[in-house]
Amino acid sequence: MAIDVSIRRLRYYWSVYLLIALPLLGVLVFSYYPIFNGLVHIFYRWDGDTIEEFVGLKNIRDMFGDSDIGWSFVVVAIFIVANVIKMIPSILTAVIIHRLVSDRWQYAYRVLFVIPMIVPMIVWILIWKYYYEPTSGFFNQILRAIHVLGPTDNILWLSDKWLVIPSLIFMGFPWVGAFGVLIYLAGLQNIPQSTYEAANLDGAGPLQTLWYIELPLIMTQIRITLVLMIIQTVQNWQFVYLFLGEQAGPDHIADVPGLVLFRESFSQGRMGYGCAIGFLLFIVTLVLTWINNKVARVER
């Protein structure tokens, strides 16, 4: 039980506030002040330095007329669809690990799947950049070895306009993420053994068990990872930047909103415009969270 301090007793207890003073001060200075400063500058032409001129709603109007922004949300939608499909291998892997008879093997596989996650993300991205490299990269050399490509032919995985997005999506194959696998496993472990026995007695095969027992019972976990993934995908721009740099490939083909924000703010000096894009991303995140809460409540 917490100690309930009324306002009357406050003079004996005021020093309790000192516990939270530093974090609170820090958050006000380093989080809330910039947030409000950003909200104000949505209405300014601003380069963060000498130019600071009130322009009303111009940034917001520009944003809705900006084809880069429009396209960037299309790219996000493509990535979200792809990422939903990329969740399937993790779910299947978790189910199969869970169905193993031996507990020791279950633990061993869990450890094995965590190891790739320990390797820093940046290293994985650089390894995949090597895979996609045109002359000495892994994929093109494999294709040359099996004579799909001639000895001097190259496929430009990351600079051919129509290959850029598929290449980004394919990255990380076989798409088994330790985070997902461990969460699904935690959910699967809550399924009582008797449920499996009952299903078995009724003659349910492995696929039916998956469809009627395991998937419905880990729906909570799947929904959590789905929501996190969608919010992540909307906000993430680092991934595209690391692969393609700030131009996002030929004709900005793989632009995502955060990358447009970064490019406009830091290369073009349009920081007011950047603040407007940031606000739009905040609104999108809010709406997504709200939808999720609605859906989650209805299903319970």
Q: Tell which positions 205-244 bind other proteins, by CB under 8 A.
A: 206, 221, 224, 235, 237-238, 242
**Which listed range, 62-70, 247-255, 274-282, 291-299, lies at the site for other proteins (CB under 8 A)?**
274-282
- Rounded to an integer, what distance in angstroms lies between the CA atom of residue 181 and that of residue 85? 15
Pairing of strands 52-54, 44-46: antiparallel
Q: Binding of other proteins at residue 43 (CB under 8 A)? A: no
Interatomic CA distance for residues 289 and 282, integer angstroms: 11
Q: Which of 213, 212, 171, 210 is nearest to 192 (CA)?
A: 213
- Near other proteins in 13-42, by CB under 8 A: 13, 16-17, 19-20, 22-24, 26-27, 29-35, 37-38, 41
User: From the CB of 202, what's the least distance to other proteins, in Å?
Assistant: 18
Distances (CA, A) of 151 to 131, 138, 140, 147, 173: 17, 14, 10, 8, 26
The Cα 247–Cα 256 span in angstroms is 11
Taking contact as CB under 8 A, which single stretch among the options 3-11, 64-72, 158-166, 209-217 is the one that binds other proteins?
Answer: 3-11
For residue 198, CA distances in Å to 27, 94, 131 come to 53, 21, 48
Alpha helices in 100-192 (DSSP H): 103-118, 121-132, 138-145, 164-170, 178-188
* CB nearer other proteins, residue 145 or residue 162: 145
> Closest CB to other proteins among 26 and 166?
26
260 binds other proteins per the rule CB under 8 A: no
Binding range to other proteins, per CB under 8 A, among 57-65, 150-158, 193-201, 257-265: 257-265
- Report yes or no: 221 and 183 within 8 Å, Cβ to Cβ: yes
185 binds other proteins, rule: CB under 8 A? yes
In whole angstroms, the minimum distance from the beta carbon of 112 to other proteins comes to 6
Q: Of 59-78, which residues contact other proteins (CB under 8 A)?
A: none
Window 114 to 153, contacts with other proteins (CB under 8 A): 114-116, 118-124, 126-131, 136, 138, 141
Q: Quick check: 157 binds other proteins (CB under 8 A)? A: no
**Closest separation in Å from C-beta 81 to other proteins:** 21
CB of 114 to other proteins, least distance (A): 6
3-class SS string, 176-206: CCHHHHHHHHHHHCCCCHHHHHHHHHCCCCH
Measured from the CB atom, the residue of 94 and 253 that comes closer to other proteins is 94
Q: CA 133 from chain center: how many Å?
A: 25
Q: Which stretch binds other proteins (CB under 8 A): 70-78, 110-118, 161-169, 196-204?
A: 110-118
